[in-house]
C-alpha cells in the first residue's frame, strides 16, 4: 500500500466537501432571495409622483384641462394605480381640483397598525402666488411577481 497517496486523497476529499458546502449555501441563498418576501416601494412611488406634481404646478401653475399634458403624466395610470388629491385654498375656502381613488384612505394607516394593504401616502402644502396648494398622493401598487 502507498500511504502517501492515501493522504493526498483525504486532503482532496476535505476540499471537495468544503466546495460542496459553499455551493449548497449559495444555492439556498439564491432560493431564499427569489422566493422570499416581495419588496414594498409604495412610499417611494408616492413620494416620487408627489415631487413631480409639485414641481409641475410650481412651474406651470394648475390648469385643469391640460394638467396631465403639461406635467407629462398619463391620466389612466394615475386613475388606476394611485390615490390623488390636489386642492387649492383661497381666502380660507378649499377647492378640490383633482380627486381620484379616495385619498382619505391614507389616514387609516396611522390609526390602525395592521392596515398594511392600504396606500402609503405622501403630502405637501406649498404657496404659489399667494395661493396655498395641498397635494396628497398615495400608492397602493404592490410588487407583483410573475413566475414562468
Tens of pLDDT, residue by residue over 45-70, are 889 999 999 999 899 888 888 888 88
Residues 21 and 80 in one domain: no
Query: What integer pLDDT is reported at residue 147 of this predicted model?
Result: 44
Residues 59 and 26 in one domain: no
| Inside any domain, residue 1 | yes
Residues 15 and 71 in one domain: no
The tally of domains found in the chain comes to 2
Residues 31 and 51 in one domain: no
Cell 406635467 -> residue: 71
| Inside any domain, residue 107 | yes
- Across the chain, what does the average pLDDT equal? 81
Q: For the chain, give the percent of residues with pLDDT over 70.
A: 78
- The set of residues, in sequence order, having a beta carbon less than 8 Å from that of 96 and lying 6+ positions away, is 85, 86, 87
- The set of residues, in sequence order, having a beta carbon less than 8 Å from that of 83 and lying 6+ positions away, is 100, 101, 102, 103, 105, 106, 119, 121, 136, 137, 138, 139, 140
Quick check: 128 and 61 in contact, CB under 8 A? yes
**If we measure between CA atoms, which residue out of 65, 41, 53, 56 comes closest to residue 136?**
53
pLDDT band of 25, cuts 50, 70, 90: very high
Residues 120 and 83 in one domain: yes
| Inside any domain, residue 144 | no
Residues spanned by the domain of 30: 1-36
Query: What integer pLDDT is reported at residue 20 of this predicted model?
Result: 95
Distance CA 53, CA 137 (A): 9
Distance CA 11, CA 35 (A): 37
Residues 85 and 30 in one domain: no
Residues 124 and 90 in one domain: yes
pTM for this prediction = 0.68
pLDDT band of 3, cuts 50, 70, 90: low
Query: What integer pLDDT is reported at residue 7 of this predicted model?
Result: 61
Residue 30 CA from chain centroid, whole number: 23
Query: What integer pLDDT is reported at residue 109 of this predicted model?
Result: 62
Residues 57 and 96 in one domain: yes
pLDDT digits (tens, 9 = 90+) for 96-141: 887 877 766 776 666 666 667 777 888 899 888 888 989 988 887 6
Query: What integer pLDDT is reported at residue 146 of this predicted model?
Result: 45
Q: What is the three-class DSSP state of 137?
A: strand
- The set of residues, in sequence order, having a beta carbon less than 8 Å from that of 46 and lying 6+ positions away, is 82, 119, 120, 121, 122, 137, 138, 139
Amino acid at each position: 500500500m502507498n500511504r502517501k497517496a492515501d493522504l493526498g486523497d483525504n486532503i482532496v476529499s476535505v476540499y471537495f466537501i468544503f466546495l460542496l458546502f459553499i455551493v449548497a449555501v449559495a444555492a439556498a441563498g439564491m432560493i431564499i432571495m427569489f422566493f422570499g418576501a416581495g419588496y414594498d416601494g409604495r412610499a417611494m412611488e408616492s413620494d416620487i409622483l408627489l415631487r413631480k406634481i409639485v414641481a409641475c404646478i410650481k412651474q406651470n401653475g394648475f390648469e385643469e384641462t391640460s394638467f396631465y399634458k403639461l406635467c407629462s403624466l398619463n391620466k389612466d395610470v394615475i386613475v388606476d394605480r394611485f390615490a390623488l388629491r390636489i386642492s387649492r385654498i383661497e381666502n380660507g375656502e378649499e377647492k378640490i381640483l383633482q380627486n381620484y381613488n379616495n385619498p382619505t384612505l391614507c389616514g387609516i394607516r396611522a390609526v390602525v397598525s395592521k392596515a398594511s394593504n392600504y396606500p402609503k401616502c405622501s403630502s405637501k402644502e406649498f404657496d404659489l402666488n399667494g395661493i396655498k396648494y395641498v397635494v396628497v398622493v398615495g400608492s397602493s401598487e404592490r410588487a407583483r411577481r410573475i413566475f414562468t
